[in-house]
């Protein structure tokens, strides 16, 4: 109850400062849902809202002069890791596939051709290049076998903490945008809740992270990355609420989806929920959105995901692979981009 009040207060305060949203909307959002209603709860919400609204301006001013800054040694180490990883990608792969890997793994789009960026944008799959939950899921599943040997409850918690520390470092390697930090902390809390058998509603995880993000950096809710990321994840969790598919969003596991065909239906729900919820923001920020997002997410993204996973043996064993194999990676990637371009052409002709 208190968490919901904090979350909505922070979010609507950001909306008011950014776009002048009337704060009476805040009270409506806090008091409207019937499941929350009781006199004591209403009084609690109103009290918290009034106190926070009085303190937020002073808090933001204080945080401006006393920001949370990571140690210089940490930032230097992260920069060195990023440079080393970038050099590894460049050495192990050819031109265009290497540019894709740098974009999708390090958020560095400088080596991607403009034509590739155009295809991604027109198919509505640019989110693949914006490091967020999609990419954190890749690293979670890649790291999971390293800790699978742990059996004791305490050992699992310790292994989870180690994994979260690695993900936190990676988040800063790719720029520590609100979307990637949201994904890391949401996964950290959701996985910990499962290990500790806490009964926490799924929607509480993004709310906890959003409120924490606000108190660390009050300017974050004004960023487009923050708004798109949290809007999308709330819409997805609402669409998958109390379904087995929500485990995919919370801790990147299909383990509980046993029904045949369910694993195909979940990506459709995710795509529709995220696209519908973020459409107003995308329309306002970019002046339009792709009408081909569904085809792009269901037909092209799975193939791109395969290309991302295919980079693992390439980066690990590049020194042992002949040049012909490296050339094959490049050929497959160029063929995929050609197929995506042709799909876009067909969709435009049919439209």
CA proximity to 3, closest of 179, 231, 211: 211
State what percent of residues in the chain have pLDDT above 90: 44
Q: Is residue 35 part of a domain?
A: yes
Model pLDDT for residues 91-105, shown as the tens digit of each residue: 998 889 999 999 999
Q: What is the pLDDT of residue 29?
A: 57
| pLDDT average, residue stretch 210-238 | 88
| 34-38, 198-202, 308-312, 327-331: the lowest-pLDDT one | 34-38
Confidence of residue 74 (pLDDT cuts 50, 70, 90): very high
Confidence of residue 211 (pLDDT cuts 50, 70, 90): confident
Distance, CA of 52 to CA of 11 (rounded, Å): 12
Residue range of the domain that includes 46: 2-65
Q: Is residue 257 part of a domain?
A: no
Model pLDDT for residues 183-192, shown as the tens digit of each residue: 999 999 999 9
Model pLDDT for residues 148-160, shown as the tens digit of each residue: 889 899 999 999 9
| pLDDT average, residue stretch 174-182 | 94
Q: Which token pair is 110?
A: 């400088």
Model pLDDT for residues 130-144, shown as the tens digit of each residue: 888 889 999 999 998
Q: What is the pLDDT of residue 50?
A: 75
pLDDT at 1 over 50: no
Model pLDDT for residues 234-292, shown as the tens digit of each residue: 888 888 877 767 777 787 876 655 555 555 677 778 888 888 888 877 877 787 778 89
Q: Is residue 153 part of a domain?
A: no
CA proximity to 15, closest of 184, 231, 198, 193: 231
| pLDDT average, residue stretch 227-239 | 87
Q: Which token pair is 127?
A: 């989110």
Q: Is residue 163 part of a domain?
A: no
Q: Is residue 249 part of a domain?
A: no
Q: Is residue 8 part of a domain?
A: yes
How many structural domains are present in the chain? 1
| pLDDT average, residue stretch 49-64 | 81
Q: Is residue 13 part of a domain?
A: yes
| pLDDT average, residue stretch 80-87 | 95
Q: What is the pLDDT of residue 32?
A: 56
| pLDDT average, residue stretch 83-91 | 94
Q: Is residue 45 part of a domain?
A: yes
First to last CA, the chain: 47
State what percent of residues in the chain have pLDDT above 70: 84
Q: What is the pLDDT of residue 199?
A: 87
């Amino acid at each position: 109850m208190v968490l919901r009040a904090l979350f909505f207060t922070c979010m609507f305060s950001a909306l008011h400062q950014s776009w002048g949203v009337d704060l009476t909307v805040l009270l409506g959002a806090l008091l409207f849902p019937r499941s929350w209603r009781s006199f004591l709860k209403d009084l609690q919400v109103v009290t918290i809202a009034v106190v926070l609204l009085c303190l937020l301006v002073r808090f933001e001013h204080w945080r401006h002069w006393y920001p949370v800054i990571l140690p210089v040694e940490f930032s230097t180490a992260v920069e060195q890791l990023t440079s080393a990883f970038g050099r590894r990608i460049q050495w192990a792969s050819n031109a265009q596939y290497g540019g894709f890997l740098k974009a999708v793994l390090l958020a560095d789009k400088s080596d991607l051709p403009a034509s590739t960026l155009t295809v991604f944008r027109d198919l509505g799959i640019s989110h693949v290049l914006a490091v967020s939950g999609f990419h954190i899921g890749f690293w979670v599943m890649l790291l999971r076998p390293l800790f699978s040997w742990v059996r004791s409850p305490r050992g699992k918690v310790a292994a989870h903490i180690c994994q979260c520390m690695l993900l936190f470092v990676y988040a800063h390697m790719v720029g520590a945008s609100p979307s990637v930090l949201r994904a890391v902390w949401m996964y950290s809390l959701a996985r910990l809740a499962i290990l500790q058998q806490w009964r926490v509603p799924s929607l509480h995880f993004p709310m906890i992270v959003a409120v924490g993000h606000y108190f660390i950096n009050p300017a974050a809710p004004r960023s487009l990355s923050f708004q798109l990321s949290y809007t999308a994840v709330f819409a997805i969790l609402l669409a998958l609420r109390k379904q087995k598919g929500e485990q995919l969003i919370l801790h990147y596991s299909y383990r509980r989806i046993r029904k045949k065909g369910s694993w195909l239906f979940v990506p459709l729900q995710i795509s529709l929920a995220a696209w519908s919820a973020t459409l107003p923001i995308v329309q306002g920020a970019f002046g339009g959105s792709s009408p081909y997002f569904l085809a792009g997410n269901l037909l092209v993204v799975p193939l791109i995901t395969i290309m991302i996973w295919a980079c693992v043996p390439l980066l690990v064993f590049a020194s042992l692979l002949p040049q012909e194999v490296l050339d094959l990676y490049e050929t497959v990637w160029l063929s995929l981009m050609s197929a995506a371009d042709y799909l876009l052409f067909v969709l435009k002709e049919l439209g």
